[in-house]
Amino acid sequence: MAMEAESRSDPLIWFEELYRSSGGNEEMIPWSNGDPNHLLVEWLEDKPCVGRALVVGCGLGEDAAYLAKLGWEVTAFDISPTAIGWAASIHKDLDIEWRVEDLLELPEEWRGVWDLVVEVHILQAIPEKIRVVAAPKLPPLLAPNGRLVSVGRVDRAGDEVQGPPWPLSREYILSIGGELELTSILFPIEIAQGEEVHRYISSWQFIPSEN
């Protein structure tokens, strides 16, 4: 679906088409297993859970729900209206603001107000020509001392990849935070279905200058 959509005028439309064609069956959504991302869960362990968190491309909302249960005030958005309606119904008992928004055209009032911005598997799921426009939208969202965390796959030299997902280069991953201060970066290697999966989790903080 992704490859076919790339040749059309809207290369992101396949997300909505996939959610819609799944007919409400979560097993049809390849990135969704009902659990929050385990690297994000570990990363959050020593972080204070206070303030406003924004979940980018939230899909069926597992990460948003996890953050809300920890005590964050959560807004979660996705480009797919079907995903947002679905996530809202799955997590209807939680106080989460669900929004249909496009990372490429975010509301102006979202600039500079988030204590935490979470990006899990979005940048690796969109074509490079969109990714290079989308990633720079993330750092300006942070409030002073706010944190940005990004999770995905890292590429290995020599791998031939027909994405999505498109594993990201280490150099590119480092660039996601722009001018923010890099506070952590890990490259865990996991085994899934007998194959090595090379992942990353990287975080930055907006530390305002003193003058």
Ligand X SMILES: C[S@@+](CC[C@H](N)C(=O)[O-])C[C@H]1O[C@@H](n2cnc3c(N)ncnc32)[C@H](O)[C@@H]1O
- Give the residue with the Cβ less far from ligand X, 80 or 203: 80
Nearest approach, Cβ of 18 to ligand X (angstroms)?
8
With CB under 6 A as the contact rule, the residue among 5, 39, 84, 103 that binds ligand X is 103
146 in contact with ligand X (CB under 6 A): no
Q: Which of 165, 148, 146 is nearest to 103 (CA)?
A: 148
Interface residue with ligand X, options 10, 35, 42, 102 (CB under 6 A): 102
Question: 67, 68, 74, 80: which one contacts ligand X (CB under 6 A)?
Answer: 80
Q: Is 104 in the site for ligand X (CB under 6 A)?
A: yes
Q: Around 37, how many Cα atoms within 13 Å sit in the side-chain half-sphere?
A: 25
Per CB under 6 A, does 125 bind ligand X? yes
In the complex, the smallest distance separating the C-beta of residue 125 from ligand X, rounded to whole angstroms, is 4
- Dist. CA 17–CA 14, nearest whole Å: 5
| Residue with smaller CB distance to ligand X, 51 or 163 | 163
Q: What is the DSSP letter of 5?
A: H
Buried b (16+ CB within 10 A) or exposed e, 46-84: eeeeebbbbbbbbbbbbbbbbbbebebbbbbbbbbebbb
Nearest 5°: the CA angle 206, 97, 118 is: 35
44 in contact with ligand X (CB under 6 A): no
- Only one of the segments 3-11, 31-39, 45-53, 201-209 lies at the binding site for ligand X (rule: CB under 6 A); that segment is 31-39
Angle made by CA atoms 146, 12, 40, in degrees to the nearest 5: 35
Name the residues that contact ligand X, by CB under 6 A.
12, 15, 31-32, 37, 57-59, 78-80, 83, 102-104, 120-122, 125-126, 134
